[in-house]
Structure 1
Amino acid sequence: MDQGTQLLLILVVLLVLFLLAVIVFVLFSVFMKRKNSLLREQIETEKRYERAIAETQIEIREETLRNISWELHDNIGQLLTLAKIKAQNIEGGEEMIEVAETIGTGLNELRALSKSINPEAINGQSLIYSLEQEVNRFNRLKYLSADYELLGDAVTIDSKVEIVLFRIVQEFMANTMKHSRASKLEVKVQFKADALEITALDDGVGFDSENLFEKGIGLSNIDKRAELIGADAKISSIPGAGTQLKLIYPLE
């Protein structure tokens, strides 16, 4: 075999190898593109599934609160109304008048509580208004002093998200009343350029935040609720130094 033939054979072999390399590269590229596409579809499917589960959980919780609200308003409310009427009709002087007034005050607060946990009642309200009303309700109870502060320019947020944000703060406030033995509660809502930041702080006895679930404080569900709407919730507390909730919801 002469030198020219050998050179031609080498060129043919190199050309074949090059074509094989090109084919392998193209096939690999197509495979990777298809793989990435399938991964993206899988991620999107998982996200849609998670969103569906989250919405279902929110609906179940709100339906439960709606039923509780109806029970408070229809059954317990009627009993208190009847007790107030009977107290007013009993001849007992100033003492019975005070009893009737106390029952009346309790009835009004029961109605306010019923409204605050009823999704239908707060669905048409803004988050800001709902928080203001909740702070006012706490002050009327005269159990502690509650302050509310709004900073920044408010922006429109999805109504379902607002309800979950309100429920988180509401749960924190309820646990402050039940467990903290606090004398003061501060709620601050701040609209920033990229996020809504809500801070709730009490001056109560505090607790070891590392053992939140074991202590039975009732705040361990806050993280789960925050996850449902893509928010970040952090509870920090030191025994004897109060408790703070910092809730951050990113704004698109």
Structure 2
Amino acid sequence: MLIRYMVKELRNSPRFALLFVLNMSLGLLGFIALDALKRNFDERLNASAESRLAEKSLIETKERLEMTLEASSTGIWGIDVAKKRFFMDDFSYSLLGVKPWEFDGTKEAFLKLVCEEDQELISQSIRDAIYLGKEIDIEFKVCEEKDDFKYVAVRGHMVRLQEHTQHLAGILIDITEKKKMQLLAKEFLLNQHRLLLDTEFRTQEKERKKISEALHDGICQYLYGIRLNIQAIEKPASFDVPFDKINLLLDQAEKETRALSYELNPSVLTDFGFVAGVRELVQRFSAPPLFTIQAEINNKADELPEAIQLPVFRIIQELINNSIKHAEATVLNIILRTDNGEVNLSVRDDGKGFDKDQVMRKGSGLRGIRNRVFMLNGKMEIHSATTLGTYIRINFNINNAISAVEAG
């Protein structure tokens, strides 16, 4: 009935027909708008869900990254180049031994966390990375109490985040345990080397002592016996000149034999002390004006432990021999001081100088000196140039030297 009525009205009343069409149009538009709103809502709902999933995934990735960094003893650091500000993560703060609120983000504050001897290395590396685009790949030490250190490896390079924004970013790795193991392994190898050298030097000294005793007690005695027998011979006056020459040759043979015996086994060290032994050595080799040795020896050197007296004596002996045989020097200055538990030996001549690298490869004298210095856990500096002579400085700590010798 309702439909028939509506059809009749549409036929008889234009106004009703117009209202009907308008209502139908508005209903269709409303339906379309409602459908559009529904689709928009669904899209936003889906986008929100995807966003939540992406955010969750990002959080999980961040957590895994943090766990990985922590497990590998690795932290993150960076520098905002424009603002000149440092930033670090929590692990890096802990590694460098500073609280986040104690660090003001400046380069100066960062360098204060590093041992002084490594600060210039870090500054230069940062400058090279920023201005030259170089990679940072260095190691440094973080000083702690009681002369203990943390060892840190730092890696980094420049990163452009936006068109005008540059950062220097990288990682800090705690390599303390690895470094300590490396140092222990290195120390073990050094001690093994010292042991070999100590065995070699001890064997040399034993053989030298045997040869010295054979020269002194054997050959010298034979030469003395020959002299007595020659003097007992009844000879005519015409034989005086030849026999005088024989006596001179015997004198020379005895003198050289005793000198060789002394060089092989300087008994004066045990008989009269270290200082007297060095002074006698100087007196034996000094022959002014052709070759003059000027020596300044601290009397406290007599207090040096016996275990290091002979090595130091051998070093001085070899330095004198080198100056005579190779340097063609006319003056040799020797200064030996023992102060504050340290031994400082310096030797300077006016000879022709030499190429240090070449001599170290081919010459046995300087290598022997270097090995003895190594045995004493000391340091040796060599400065030599043609026409300028040679300057050699040797330094070691007495306690460290004793420990090294005893370890050997």
Please classify the TM superposition score into its range, dividing by the shorter chain length.
0.5 to 0.7
Is 2:216 aligned against 1:68?
Answer: no
Which of residues 204, 208, 220 is equivalent to 2:367?
220
Counterpart code for 2:380: A
Is 2:200 the partner of 1:57?
Answer: yes
Secondary structure, counterpart of 2:333 in structure 1: strand
Q: Deviations over 1:166-218 (max 9, x none)?
A: 11111111122222222222211122324111122222222222211355373
Once residues 94 and 181 of structure 1 are traced to their aligned partners in structure 2, the CA distance between those partners, rounded to angstroms, is 37
Q: What is the CA-CA distance between 1:125 and the residue it aligns to?
A: 4.6
- Tell me: CA distance 1:103–1:175, structure 2 relative to 1, closer, same or farther (3 Å): farther
Moved more, 104-113 or 227-236: 104-113
In the TM superposition, residue 101 of structure 1 has moved relative to its aligned partner by: 4.2
Q: Cα 1:198–1:48, aligned 2, differ >3 Å: closer, same or farther?
A: closer
| Cα distance in structure 1, aligned partners of 2:364 and 2:188 | 36
Q: Of the candidates 321, 343, 349, which is equivalent to residue 174 of structure 1?
A: 321
Give the alignment of 1:39-58 within 5 angstroms.
49=192, 52-58=195-201
**How many Å apart are 1:221 and its aligned residue?**
1.7
Corresponding residue for residue 150 of structure 1: 297
Q: What is the aligned-residue RMSD (CA, Å)?
A: 3.7
Gaps of 5+ in 2: 1-70, 72-176, 400-408
Q: Distance in 2 between matches of 1:119 and 1:151?
A: 20
Do 1:175 and 1:217's aligned partners in 2 also have CA atoms closer than 8 Å? Answer: no
Q: Evaluate the alpha carbon distance shift between residue 216 and residue 55 of structure 1 in structure 2; reply closer, same or farther with a 3 A threshold.
A: closer
Q: TM-score, normalised by structure 1?
A: 0.68
> Structure 1 residues 248, 194: closer, same or farther in 2, change over 3 A?
same
What is the CA–CA distance in structure 1 between the aligned matches of 2:255 and 2:242, rounded to whole Å? Answer: 20
Q: Equivalent residues in 2 for 1:62-101 (5 A)?
A: 62-78=205-221, 80-81=223-224, 84-85=227-228, 92-93=239-240, 96-97=243-244, 100-101=247-248
Partner of 1:190: 337
162 and 227 in structure 1: CA distance in 2 versus 1, 3 angstrom threshold: same
Q: Secondary structure at the match of 1:204?
A: coil
Greater relative contact order (CA < 8 Å, ≥ 6 in sequence): 1
**Structure 2 residue 386 is matched with structure 1 residue 239:** yes
Cα distance change of structure 1 residues 44 and 225 upon mapping to structure 2, 3 Å threshold: closer
Matched, 1:160 2:307: yes
Q: Which amino acid aligns with 2:212?
A: S
Identity %: 23
Shift of 1:62: 1.0
Residue type at the aligned position of 1:77 = C
Deviations 1:56-110 (A, max 9, x none): 2331121122133234324543454356557766755467546624642552353
User: Relative to total residues, which structure has the larger strand share, 1 or 2?
Assistant: 2
Query: Unaligned regions of 5+ residues in structure 1, if any?
Result: 1-24, 26-34
TM-score for the superposition, normalised by structure 2: 0.45
- Look at both structures and tell me which one has the larger radius of gyration over its CA atoms: 2
